[in-house]
Amino acid sequence: MTSYRSLFALGIAALVLAACGDVKQDLGLGRSVPDEFAVVDRPPLSMPPDFSLRPPTPGAPRPQEVDLTQHASETLFAGASSSSGSAPSDAEKALLTQTGADKVDPGIRTTINREAAQKVTASDHLLQDLLWWKKDPSAAAVVDAPGEAQRLKEAKDKGEAPNAGATPIIERDQSSWLGL
């Protein structure tokens, strides 16, 4: 019986000690949050492999940093070479052949520049279509339904095509649109 009491007392003591902060960390029960001041942006200095290196010139770009614009230009406009700077592999050549990239007109840039330099004239009706809220209300044609029915009936009686005559429209007075 005393062994149960001592075991129980030992368990209670362990729980009480685990509630303390330092004991919690020592037992591995606590959380370890990273220290934001211990984070390093650049790796620490180390001994260079070549002792003939000269110290960097102040204001000069770091040799391990790559200019992203230059790297992108070299990647895009390197022609047939791949991104690694070597000749394209057989798989790359096969892909270019299957997509038709090997049959591109070499003078396409000249053609595009010439076509872009040509003057494009704008038409007023395109502008009016784009600016639909500025349309002239009198320009909207409203079909006269009874007149159109009469015209279609007469065309049928005469054996003419239904689109042979002019469609009758309702003419509205301009002053009615202006509220006068």
Return the amino acid letter for 106: P
Is 77 among the domain residues? Answer: no
User: Is the pLDDT assigned to residue 177 strictly greater than 70?
Assistant: no
**What is the tens place of the pLDDT at every residue in 153-174?**
999 999 888 888 888 887 766 5
Question: Considering the domain boundaries, does residue 16 fall inside one?
Answer: no
Identify the helix (H) or strand (E) that includes residue 143: strand 142-143
* Residue 7 falls inside a structural domain: no
For residue range 39-94, what is the model confidence (pLDDT) as tens digits? Answer: 767 766 777 667 677 777 888 877 777 778 888 877 777 654 444 556 778 888 88
- Residue 105: which of 114, 94, 95 has the closest Cα? 114
How many domains is the chain partitioned into structurally?
Answer: 1
The model's pTM is 0.23
* 104 part of a folded domain: yes
Report yes or no: 113 and 137 within 8 Å, Cβ to Cβ: no
